Structure 1
Amino acid sequence: MSFFSLLLLAALLPSSARSEHVDMGIINGTEAKPHSRPYMVSVQRKGNHICGGFLVSEHFVMTAAHCWNQEDKLTVVLGAHELPKSSSDLGRKAVKFYHIHPMYDSETLFNDLMLLQLNKTAKKSQRINWIPIPTKDKDIKAKPACSVAGWGKQQTSGSRSKRLMEVDVSVMDKRFCQKYWGKGYSASRMVCAGGQGGFCQGDSGGPLVCKGTAVGIVSFTDDKDCNSPNRLPNVYTKISKFLPWIKAILGSME
C-alpha cells in the first residue's frame, strides 16, 4: 500500500482505529496553568473530545479539516482546562457552519484547515479569548521557541489527558522535513517542529504558537512513534499560506 493510500485510510477511519499520521497528545509536556491559553478549544463529537482547536475571533474556531466527516455534528467547548469537569458547565457551543478549505486533500492532507462558525458569539473573559494569526505570508525561520498544547495522548500507547498539557517545541529546517516526509510534505503549505516534545493522537487542530501568534495547525505525524519528536518531525499546516481564504470567511461576519 502506498504512502498516500495509508494517509487516505487514516483520514477515513474513526480516531480509535487510525494507525497513521492523523488525529494526533502532548509528548514530554507539563500541565498548563489553568486558563493560561484562553484560546484553546476542545472539538467534540457526541460529547467526547476528538480534536483541538483555537478561537480566532468571536465567531470562529480554527482546526484541522481532517477532524470532521460530513456526517458528524460537532460541538466545541471554550474555556476548558479539565475536560470532564468543564465540558458540562462552561462554554459548550454548537457549530453553525463548517468552512472546510476548498482545496483540502484528505489523501495528502495538503490544505488541512477548517473554520467552525459558532451558532452563538463567544464572549471574552478570563477563560475565553482569541489568539492572533499572521497578517502576511512569510517563511517561519528554523529554531524559534514555540509551543503546542492539547488534551491528547502523552505517549504512543498511552491514554488521552483530562487536563490541558503544553510543551515547548522548535521549528525545524524545511529541508529536513522534506527529506523525511518526501512527497507528503509541502514546504510552502506546511511547517515542521520537534525537539524534546511534540504532539500525538487527540491534538489535531490545535495551534503551533510562536511569540503569541498561532502560526500552524496540528496536522500529522507518525502515530506509531509519537514518542520521538526529535527524530520524527511533527507537521503543521502553515496558516499564513491561506490568509486570503481565511480573511474572506472571517470577513463574512463583519
Structure 2
Amino acid sequence: MTIISLILLVSLLPHLTFTARVNVGIVNGRDAKPHSRPYMVSVQTKDHHICGGFLISDRFVMTAAHCRNIAPVVTVVLGAHDLRKKSENSVRFTVDSYHQHPDFTNKSFHNDILLLKLEKNVQLNDNIKWIAIPAEEGDIEAGSVCSIAGWGLLETKGKKSNHLMETNVTVMNNKKCESKWGKEHFSASQMMCVHGNGGSCDGDSGGPLVCGDTAVGITSFGDPDVCNSPELPEVYTKISAYLPWIKNIIGNVN
C-alpha cells in the first residue's frame, strides 16, 4: 500500500468500526488483451496511477468518490494498456470539473460515485471508446458472471501492475453480502457484491464492474487486510441507483 493510501486509511479509522480497504490491481487475474477494454481510464496524480475509472460519454469519466480523498486534483489517461509506454497513443486529459455525489462523506462508502468532466470532448478511436451504463434501476441477478479490470496491486501489499489486468467475478446475493458486512456498511439499494478466484486490490477503486457490455458497478471497498478476501466480499457502488443524478449532471453541464 502506498504511503498516501495509508494516510487515507488512517484518516478513516475513527469513522469505521472496521475500516474497509480504501483504494481497492487485480489478484489472480490475467493480462487483458491490449485495448480490449477501450473504456478503461487510469486516474492519476503527478503521473502516478491512484485509481481506475471508465469513460461513459465523450466528455465524462465515472470513478469512485473516495479517490478524491487520495488526490483532490487528478488527471486521467485514456487509451492505455501499459502505463509505462508513451508509444501507445494514450491521451492525458485534465479535469474541468468534479461532480461528487452530494451525499458522499468520508465517514463511509455510501454514495461512492464521482463524475469527472474532462477539459474537452474525447476523440473516440479503436483504443478509446465509452461504455454503456444501465438504462433503468435494477439488480443484477445473483450468480451472474461479470468482469473487472485494473492496474492495481497483484497481491495484498504486493506490486502494482503496469499492464491492465482482468478477471471474472460472480455477483453475490444481496442478503448474503449484507450478512457478511452488516447493514451499517452494506446498503442493498446502493451497492452490490461479487466473489471469485480473482478480485480487486489496492489501486482498482473506481474501475467498472462489467456485465455483458454494460458497466453496472464502481469498485468501492473490500476487506481492510486481505485483497479478494473469502470472508468479506468486495463491494461495488450500484450505478443504476444513481441514474437520475447522473443524467442531471451530464445533461446540465456545458
Q: TM-score, normalised by structure 2?
A: 0.90
User: Hey, what does 2:126 align to over in structure 1?
Assistant: 126
One-letter identity of the residue aligned with 1:212:
D
Question: 1:210-249 alignment to 2 at 5 Å?
Answer: 210-228=211-229, 230-249=230-249
Q: 1:67 to 1:30 in 2, by over 3 A?
A: same
Helix, strand or coil at the partner of 1:184? coil
Helix, strand or coil at the partner of 2:156? coil
Using the alignment, how far apart are the partners of 1:125 and 1:83 within structure 2?
A: 18
- Using the TM superposition, give the Cα deviation of residue 176 of structure 1 relative to its aligned residue in structure 2, in angstroms: 1.1
- Using the TM superposition, give the Cα deviation of residue 240 of structure 1 relative to its aligned residue in structure 2, in angstroms: 0.3
2:222, 2:228 within 8 Å by CA — same for their partners in 1?
no
- Count of residue pairs the alignment pairs up: 241
User: Hey, what does 2:35 align to over in structure 1?
Assistant: 35
One-letter identity of the residue aligned with 1:165:
M
Using the alignment, how far apart are the partners of 2:114 and 2:29 within structure 1?
A: 26
User: Hey, what does 1:16 align to over in structure 2?
Assistant: none
1:197 paired with 2:198, answer yes
Using the alignment, how far apart are the partners of 1:76 and 1:87 within structure 2?
A: 17
The gaps in structure 2 that reach 5 residues or longer are 1-6, 13-18
Using the alignment, how far apart are the partners of 1:231 and 1:170 within structure 2?
A: 15
Helix, strand or coil at the partner of 2:69? coil
Helix, strand or coil at the partner of 1:69? helix
User: Hey, what does 2:63 align to over in structure 1?
Assistant: 63
Question: 1:103-182 alignment to 2 at 5 Å?
Answer: 103-182=103-182
One-letter identity of the residue aligned with 1:236:
Y
1:52 paired with 2:65, answer no
Using the alignment, how far apart are the partners of 2:132 and 2:228 within structure 1?
A: 30
Q: 1:142 to 1:93 in 2, by over 3 A?
A: same
1:76 paired with 2:47, answer no
Helix, strand or coil at the partner of 1:219? strand
Using the alignment, how far apart are the partners of 2:188 and 2:20 within structure 1?
A: 21
CA RMSD of aligned residues (A): 2.0
One-letter identity of the residue aligned with 1:143:
G
Using the alignment, how far apart are the partners of 1:168 and 1:127 within structure 2?
A: 22
One-letter identity of the residue aligned with 1:215:
V
- Using the TM superposition, give the Cα deviation of residue 239 of structure 1 relative to its aligned residue in structure 2, in angstroms: 0.2
1:24, 1:202 within 8 Å by CA — same for their partners in 2?
yes
Is 235-244 or 101-110 further displaced after alignment? 101-110
- Using the TM superposition, give the Cα deviation of residue 156 of structure 1 relative to its aligned residue in structure 2, in angstroms: 0.4
The gaps in structure 1 that reach 5 residues or longer are 1-7, 14-18
Is 63-72 or 37-46 further displaced after alignment? 63-72
User: Hey, what does 1:206 align to over in structure 2?
Assistant: 207
Using the alignment, how far apart are the partners of 2:191 and 2:86 within structure 1?
A: 32
One-letter identity of the residue aligned with 1:220:
F
One-letter identity of the residue aligned with 1:201:
D
